[in-house]
Amino acid sequence: MSESPVVRLEKDGDVALIIVNYPPVNALGPGVADGIVDCLNKANADPSVKSLVLMGDGRSFIAGADIRGFGTNRKRPPIGQRTYDVMDASPKPIVAAIHGYALGGGLENAMGCHYRIAVPSAKVGLPEVLIGILPGGGGTQRLPRLVGAQTALEMITSGRHVPAPEARKLGILDEVLPEGTDLRSAAVAYARKVADVRPLPRVRDKSVTADPAIFDAMRKSIARRARNQTAPYHCIAAVEAACTMDFEAGIRRENELFLELENADEAKALRYAFFAEREVAKLPDLPKDVAPYEFKDPAVIGAGTMGGGIAMSFADFGYDVKIMDATQEALDRGMERIKANYATSVKRGSLAQEEMERRLARIHPVAGYDDIKDCDVVVEAVFERMDVKKPVFAKLDEVMRPDAFLFSNTSALDMDDLASVTKRADKVAGTHFFSPANVMKLLEVVRPAEASPQTLMTAMALGRKIGKISAMAGNTDGFVANRSRAPFNSEMVILLEEGCLPEQVDKVMVDFGYPMGPFAVGDLAGLDIGAEGRKRRAAANPNYRKLPIADKLVEMGRYGQKTGAGWYRYEKGDRTPHPDPEVAAIIKQVAAEMGVPQKDFTDTEILQRLLFSSVNEACRILEEGKAYRASDVDVMWLHGFGFPRYRGGLMYWADGIGVKNVYNQIAAWHQQYGERWAPSKLLRELAETNTPFRQAKPAPFA
């Protein structure tokens, strides 16, 4: 009936269908909104049309706004002329037929329709808070009118995706179709059924009230996770307006709050992070015609904390996975730990008991190598020492089928050296999971010299298939994530030598936005793990800067939470870190023995000493060609180390300070503290040309 590049109008008898076709996910890109309004006007002007359906081609209904348009000079239609408003005012009923995703502007358009139906696999939500804004198309005004203020607050401040069956119970959807139903046919039938129903059920006509106390309660409940952010609080204010103003006034208030957020630093940083996560998947120097191998039978070697977490990651995403260890005792202990981890999730209410049983049933403990020989991909997760890993890889090479991929969960070891013990170096790569492996989103794929393009793409795809964000790293000590973090880890202990205490450093970093301070994180991970890495680096480098305070704690058996004492002390059964006078005494004693002058530190100096050291090292990594992009470093810090997302990432944050300012401070500390603060060549070049870190051109990937 009508053709346009992104929206078309079709007829099925007396029902008109407005079909969005803006691949890949039908975002509200250029021309989509105008196309919807144009088709709507034509359908309403056609006397043969009794009712309408709004739906999407391809993978989704409408997956949200085109984020590239935020923060630009794009002209937004005035209130009253937006798609949601025009549909709301339609004299003929409109049915939103949802599959895939109806997120952000997608759900706002659906709520502008008079009825909403969906297939069971569909998901809906208003995730705008995750990019530092609020639902600015009436979402904060219409959703409370459908589900009530409390549920709307929870959905909008969390940004979560709600499955269709739950959305039906909440009142967002009018009907969830039976599994296997053809959506188009069902939508047309539904539209015919409601064609003559009057008055039209407009969401805007519903009223909503709420106890004023729930808004303050919500502000208090999000205080920790929303620290330093504005968008979550503006979301609450907008929903509050829905409960205290009429619809028109509430829409105007929503628009005011939206405009305050759109160009704020918080939103810019979150948009940057969003696009960086998509860019990190691009491997520009690998052939475009090579596809990853579609693995089906994964195995994990090592049932310790990391191995168990990796096995859970596979099971959580529907894979049957085999897991083995050197002894039956270790395997049994690992399975008990896995069960305990799942049980904790059930206790918290984040996992149903039935789902726990399903996931556990996918994890198959096996006795030995013969039981995994037919698997097509294996992830080794044994102790982080080359003399432990090499025999495992040699044995895997011997028993695994010839086309199987061998991946290692090493966090720092030389992958070329490890691959050399096999006759299939082209099928070997690093897959560095972060702890806890079943929770942390980052998978660092490490690229040995002989790894084939298919091997690398398979490793990257493996991460994505189990819910991770995969990022490529060159084969260098510590790879990209841990190598760039290493100066931070050293500097935080050196600060103690000069007069800081662990709790002072941790407070600065938590105030900056980290969920935990670095010393508390060290206790959680285990101080003995860091000590092992320091020993290895000291053996390889006679000029390695030792950390005697950290080494002293490990010598005393203070490994962290697992021993009840590390940088902090811990009460039995409690993970709360308590400052320990014994640690303060050790720090004072070692500093005196070293003859280090003591001083007071400002919060800014603590923050910059830690983060600038890592910015400088990240520049070295880029100049050596061990990472593709500065934004890849940011993604690794966001998902590997808990860097506050609303600050964009390490390098993005440093750009906010200014490359020249960063260089000048590092150069000054070079004069004061010596070689560890020597500015990298790339940093100096960027400062001389005033080029932002995120525009740095790294060396070709090596």
443 touches 480 (CB < 8 A): no
What values do phi and psi take at 20, rounded to 5?
Answer: -85, 130
- Residues making up the chain, counted from first to last: 702
Q: How far apart are CA 701 and CA 542, in angstroms?
A: 28
The candidate with the shortest Cα–Cα distance to 588, out of 601, 598, 578, 573, is: 598
CA 682, 683, 689, 695 dihedral sign is: positive
410 touches 437 (CB < 8 A): no
Please give the full DSSP string across 359-391, using - where no structure is assigned.
HHHTEEE-SSGGGTTT-SEEEE---S-HHHHHH
Residue-wise burial string across 411-448, b where 16 or more C-beta atoms lie within 10 A, e elsewhere: bbbbbbebbebbebbbbbbbbbbbbbbbebebbbbbbb
Report the half-sphere exposure of 285 (CA within 13 A, side-chain side): 15
702 touches 474 (CB < 8 A): yes
161: DSSP letter: P
Helices within 577-649 (DSSP H only): 581-594, 603-623, 630-640
Strand partners, 62: 102
**What distances in angstroms separate CA 169 from CA 135, 172, 193, 208, one per listed residue?**
22, 8, 22, 18
What values do phi and psi take at 19, rounded to 5?
Answer: -120, 120
- Annotated catalytic, 108? yes
**What distances in angstroms separate CA 118 from CA 356, 516, 695, one per listed residue?**
27, 41, 43
Helices within 382-442 (DSSP H only): 386-399, 415-419
Which residue has 């939470």 as its token pair?
Answer: 561
The candidate with the shortest Cα–Cα distance to 273, out of 675, 638, 25, 576, is: 638
Strands 27-28 and 64-65: parallel
Q: How far apart are CA 412 and CA 535, in angstroms?
A: 13
Strands 162-163 and 123-125: antiparallel
Per-residue 3-state assignment (H helix, E strand, C coil) for 275-293:
HHHHHCCCCCCCCCCCCCC
Which residue has 């609020």 as its token pair?
Answer: 134
Q: Which one of the listed residues 108, 262, 444, 503 is annotated catalytic?
A: 108
Q: How far apart are CA 114 and CA 29, in angstroms?
A: 23
Query: Is residue 119 helix, strand or coil?
Result: coil
Q: How far apart are CA 380 and CA 326, in angstroms?
A: 12
The candidate with the shortest Cα–Cα distance to 52, out of 104, 88, 99, 77, is: 88
Q: Which one of the listed residues 128, 266, 491, 624 is annotated catalytic?
A: 128
Q: Give the number of other CB atoms < 10 A from CB of residue 95.
A: 30
Catalytic residues: 108, 128
